């Protein structure tokens, strides 16, 4: 009797990881979970969610190694964006030392760094010998299109310097070494891919960081309704780069027909967005719900007619995929991660040539969605199909298996 083939030993590095979490944390766990079907997985992760990770990992046969940071580092990390970066870098250095000791005794065949979702934190295994390396999905090359500064509020100055900061980060020796030695690089979108040097692009592939949640209800088939108001929905973190003021400006030009906009989420830009709605005399038509439980968010997806996600800088957007899975057509900018997720059959992508073109394009998109309910319904049905066919965990497992097989076959 032939002995079963041994599964390859894989070290998966995921700082953000929580099977019970959302966003990047849920995605960090998902990659490890998918790899267990064909690999022996050791998961190296942050210890903040050890209670959630360890029982699930044990049930799946994953060896979890939860690495912590000092309490004072965590306190700094919880206070600000800069503090979070500091904590991640501290954790990364500590985790690298622990991983190197594990590799010296176990000899991992593949090391896959899945989260952080940015190229700015280099590959933990960039200097190792005797292993194959997979990096990503990574993003970070995105920046706001020129001319949109006035729409970014307090983030205007910071965003203006982002291009310089991106180039400085890409020039770091540790980052360039990681790009050079990685056997395969998953890149979240073409914006970041085109930002990377040409000499590494042949080893890159576009892989969305987002995936369809298994707990989402089936997409509701919406019957065309030509008489009712157009019910628009935004769900996500309320940050200035998700430029709801552009949407408000576009809707303010369509006061003569019925519509409503519901903004679900919380964040630093929420207060500014409320002021913009009041300034445009739109408070009766715009509802800001704040943060809501998942069941309430699902209800809003079910009741809406279309989803709007006006991100000027975003590597993906989990809300976009949730909306598509719920059968909603998406209106987004033709820029960054959302533009990779939405196609012409599942939504409307609006130009970012300049702010006026974007506002005009948004207004035209809303007008057509309102005037053509049958077309709106067909877009939503196509969005649901696309989400579940192209962005499922099953699809990502197939990608992992093929990528790892290529690496172990010796092809770069």
Q: Could you read off the pLDDT of 354-369 as tens digits, one per residue?
A: 999 999 999 999 999 9
Task: Identify whether 222 is part of a domain.
Answer: no
Q: How much is the average pLDDT of 76-102?
A: 92
Task: Identify whether 236 is part of a domain.
Answer: yes
Task: Identify whether 1 is part of a domain.
Answer: no
Task: Looking at the structure, tell me whether residues 329 and 403 fall in a common domain.
Answer: no
What are the tens digits of pLDDT across the range 308-337? 999 998 888 888 999 999 999 999 999 888
Q: Output the domain CATH number for residue 47.
A: 3.40.50.2000
What are the tens digits of pLDDT across the range 142-197? 888 888 888 888 778 877 788 888 999 999 999 999 999 999 999 999 989 999 99
Question: Would you say residue 126 has pLDDT above 90?
Answer: no
Residue 229 has a pLDDT of 87
pLDDT interval class at 411 (50, 70, 90): very low
Q: How much is the average pLDDT of 384-402?
A: 92
330 in Cβ contact with 319 (< 8 Å): no
Higher pLDDT, 379 or 294: 379
pLDDT interval class at 220 (50, 70, 90): low
Question: Would you say residue 217 has pLDDT above 90?
Answer: no
Residue 316 has a pLDDT of 80
H/E stretch holding 390 reads helix 373-390
Burial category of 136 from C-beta neighbours within 10 Å (exposed 0-12, middle 13-18, buried 19 and up)? buried
Beta bridge pairs of residue 45: 14, 66
Task: Looking at the structure, tell me whether residues 184 and 282 fall in a common domain.
Answer: no
Task: Identify whether 311 is part of a domain.
Answer: yes
The Cα angle at residue 242 between residues 237 and 244, in degrees rounded to 5:
105
Structure tokens at 329: 């057509």
What are the tens digits of pLDDT across the range 12-43? 999 999 998 888 899 999 999 999 999 999 99
Say what percent of the chain tops pLDDT 70: 95
Task: Identify whether 330 is part of a domain.
Answer: yes
Task: Looking at the structure, tell me whether residues 283 and 193 fall in a common domain.
Answer: no
Cα–Cα distance measured from residue 129 to residue 360, given in angstroms and rounded to the nearest whole number: 54
Cα–Cα distance measured from residue 363 to residue 77, given in angstroms and rounded to the nearest whole number: 40
Mean pLDDT of the chain: 90
Task: Looking at the structure, tell me whether residues 194 and 263 fall in a common domain.
Answer: no
Task: Looking at the structure, tell me whether residues 240 and 182 fall in a common domain.
Answer: no
- In order, the DSSP letters of 307-365 are EEE-BSS-S--HHHHHHHHTT--EEEESSHHHHHH--TTTEEEE--SSHHHHHHHHHHH
The CB-side HSE value for 410 (13 A sphere, CA atoms) comes to 0
SS3 166: helix
Task: Looking at the structure, tell me whether residues 180 and 286 fall in a common domain.
Answer: no
CA atoms 206, 401, 98, 19: torsion sign: positive
Could you say which DSSP state residue 285 is in?
T
pLDDT interval class at 412 (50, 70, 90): very low
Residue 159 has a pLDDT of 79
Task: Looking at the structure, tell me whether residues 335 and 404 fall in a common domain.
Answer: no
Question: Would you say residue 222 has pLDDT above 60?
Answer: yes
Task: Looking at the structure, tell me whether residues 189 and 238 fall in a common domain.
Answer: no
| Total Cβ atoms within 10 A of residue 261 | 22
What are the tens digits of pLDDT across the range 268-312? 899 999 999 999 999 999 999 999 998 899 899 999 999 999 999
Task: Looking at the structure, tell me whether residues 291 and 204 fall in a common domain.
Answer: no
The count of domains in the chain is: 2
Phi-psi region of 336 (alpha: psi -120 to 50; beta: other; left: phi over 0): left
Task: Identify whether 152 is part of a domain.
Answer: no
Task: Looking at the structure, tell me whether residues 313 and 345 fall in a common domain.
Answer: yes
Task: Looking at the structure, tell me whether residues 285 and 382 fall in a common domain.
Answer: yes
Owning domain of residue 24: 9-139+172-210+392-408
What pTM, to 2 d.p., does this model score? 0.88
CA 67 from centre of chain: 24
Task: Looking at the structure, tell me whether residues 364 and 398 fall in a common domain.
Answer: no
What are the tens digits of pLDDT across the range 234-263? 999 999 999 999 999 999 988 788 899 999
């Amino acid at each position: 009797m032939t002995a079963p083939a041994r599964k390859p030993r894989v070290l998966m590095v995921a700082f953000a990881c929580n099977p019970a979490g959302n966003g990047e944390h849920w995605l960090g766990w998902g990659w490890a979970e998918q790899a267990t079907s064909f690999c022996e997985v050791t998961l190296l992760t942050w210890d903040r969610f050890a209670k959630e990770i360890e029982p699930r990992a044990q049930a799946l046969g994953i060896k979890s190694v939860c690495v912590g940071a000092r309490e004072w580092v965590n306190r700094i990390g919880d206070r600000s964006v800069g503090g979070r970066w500091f904590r991640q870098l501290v954790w990364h250095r500590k985790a690298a030392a622990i991983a190197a000791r594990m590799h010296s005794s176990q000899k991992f065949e593949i090391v896959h760094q899945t989260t952080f979702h940015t190229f700015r934190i280099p590959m933990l295994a960039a200097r190792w010998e005797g292993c194959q390396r997979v990096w990503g999905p990574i993003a970070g090359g995105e920046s706001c299109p020129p001319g949109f500064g006035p729409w970014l509020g307090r983030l205007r100055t910071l965003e203006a310097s982002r291009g310089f900061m991106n180039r400085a980060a890409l020039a770091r020796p540790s980052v360039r070494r990681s790009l050079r030695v990685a056997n395969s690089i998953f890149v979240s979108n073409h914006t970041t891919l085109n930002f990377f040097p040409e000499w590494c692009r042949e080893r890159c592939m576009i892989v969305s960081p987002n995936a369809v949640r298994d707990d989402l209800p089936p997409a509701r088939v919406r019957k065309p309704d030509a008489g009712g108001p157009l019910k628009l929905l935004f769900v996500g973190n309320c940050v200035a780069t998700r430029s709801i003021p552009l949407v408000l400006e576009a809707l303010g030009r369509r006061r003569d027909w019925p519509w409503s906009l519901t903004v679900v989420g919380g964040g630093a830009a929420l207060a500014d967005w409320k002021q913009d709605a009041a300034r445009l005399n739109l408070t009766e038509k715009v509802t800001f719900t704040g943060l809501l439980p998942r069941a309430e968010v699902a209800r809003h997806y079910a009741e809406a007619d279309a989803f709007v996600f006006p991100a000027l800088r975003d590597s993906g957007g989990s809300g976009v995929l949730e909306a598509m899975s719920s059968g909603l057509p998406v209106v987004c900018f033709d820029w960054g991660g959302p533009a990779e997720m939405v196609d012409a059959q599942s939504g409307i992508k609006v130009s970012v040539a300049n702010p006026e073109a974007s506002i005009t394009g948004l207004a035209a998109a809303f007008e057509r969605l309102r005037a053509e309910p049958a077309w709106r319904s067909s877009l939503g049905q196509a969005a649901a199909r696309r989400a579940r066919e192209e962005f499922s965990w099953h699809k990502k497992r197939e990608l992992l298996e093929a990528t790892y097989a290529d690496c172990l076959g010796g092809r770069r």
